[in-house]
Amino acid sequence: MIHKRATLPTPTSTDSFWHTEPNEFLLGHRTTAEIPAEADIVIVGSGITGTSAARYLAEDKRAKHKSIVLLEAREACWGATGRNGGHCQPLLFDRSAEVAAFELKNVHAVKTYIQENNIPCEWRSVSGCRTFWTEEVMKEAERELEHLNKVAPDIARYVSIIRDKDELRKHRVNPDCLGATLTAGAGSLWPYKLVTYTLEQLTKAGKLNLQTTTPVTAISSSSSEHIVQTPRGSIIAKTVILATNGYTSAIVPQFADLIVPVRGQMSALLPPKNSTILPDSYGMVAALGQPSNADDYLVQRPYEGVPNPRGHLMFGGGRGAGTLPTVGECDDSVKDEGSAAYLRSALLKVLELDGDTDGLKELEAVAEWTGIMGYSRDNHPWVGKVPGTEGLWLCGGYTGHGMPNGMLCAKAVVEMVLGEERGEEMKGLVERMVENGELPRSYVITQERIEKARGWPTVEVQDRQGFHMTSVV
């Protein structure tokens, strides 16, 4: 079967709310007027993954004198990280205990970095309230949590189940809901501001050459180097790190069936007048007839202490109400009117929003936009060396769940790059990282994993048949 390759990011895109307060220093930024003819390391993509990779390289003494160039097809952080739902929420019972532990560690790393650097990105520590709207999905969650209690009680303690109607009301959930899980240790934030803070610091410190509006059109490789081609010229580099997520197969065609672009819908909605802030971040599973494998997701911006403090409800999902195709789509310049209409009305039905709600049929949207996720065929990110190459590395395929994974996945790929360069044997290095909890074994790229993943149904078939693939961004 021939799988369609991703295209490059479209030159224009729908207007994300997260870009309404742009980093002026980074708009149109090119650290040098011309792209360098060569570099030690080229990173492609400026979201949470590419930016974190640049930061970990800058902080590592082994890379002290290396030249690092980051290429971005559009403006800095204009792809998935600049268009997502604002969540940093670990999902602790959907996958293995090893993955759950890694996500907890990743969320802690994000929070710590923000707090230590006092980054003004609206970080808010919350619990993740995941609501279930059919008995089937509720019982599945209970079974998964029961299993987690048996295999990893230290992780299961972060999660509790709510079935009591009064308790649901305390979390502002409509008591028609069958139940919810409450996960401690989640956060909400303005992702674009986190990433652009880091990029600005790195470029001003001379640690990074950032070239925006410079798409990578192809990479040609020899045994010792890569030629990274762009419309503005080419860069020769020994090492290339792809942080391209849903767009990966535009550059590496052999991943076309393994990391598939999927378009999602987001909105920034004004809450009812005189309402108060919600206590949690939220996921809605099978709400209002939506498919059970495509969650809706919500965080709320603050009402005070930040620029434009209007408590925007940052609500995404609604795939089941959409009218446009989503799987295999790379174009985020179009809006799905069906999904957008669903998002404007759904919160008034699934939550108990307070304030002036009488007669209110839908909430006012101040922004509606789309973003491109990268769905993994085996539901795990792909981290490591691209098989059959030297010096070409990949970190992506988060299946809509990048914020609780991207930072430490980037750290792991940097450790692989620098470790191999210092002569460490890759198999042993990866084994040590897995044993130390630095990366789940299921994330590591191997030829064996690729072949096994190709035994699964395609992403399109999984989506159509209702396989549960994470969509909480």
What was the pLDDT predicted at 1?
53
What was the pLDDT predicted at 467?
74
Do 196 and 178 belong to one domain? Answer: no
Copy the structure tokens of residue 467: 């396989």
What was the pLDDT predicted at 472?
40
- Residue 466 pLDDT class (50, 70, 90 cuts): confident
Asked if residue 347 has pLDDT above 90, the reply is yes
Do 289 and 177 belong to one domain? Answer: yes
Do 401 and 456 belong to one domain? Answer: yes
Per-residue pLDDT tens over the stretch 101-122: 999 999 999 999 999 999 999 9
CATH code assigned at 216: 3.50.50.60
CB 175 within 8 A of CB 163: no
Tell me the residue range of the domain where 63 lies.
17-82+192-259+378-465
Copy the structure tokens of residue 74: 């559009």
Do 154 and 202 belong to one domain? Answer: no
Per-residue pLDDT tens over the stretch 44-86: 999 999 999 999 999 999 999 999 999 999 999 999 999 999 9
| pTM summary value | 0.97
Do 70 and 203 belong to one domain? Answer: yes
In a domain, 28, yes or no: yes
In a domain, 99, yes or no: no
Alpha-carbon distances, residue 409 vs 52, 127, 230, 269, 448 (angstroms): 9, 23, 26, 32, 20
Do 282 and 369 belong to one domain? Answer: yes
Q: What are phi and psi of 405, to 5 degrees?
A: -135, -35
Do 213 and 248 belong to one domain? Answer: yes
Dihedral sign for Cα atoms in the order 380, 384, 388, 389:
positive
Asked if residue 124 has pLDDT above 60, the reply is yes
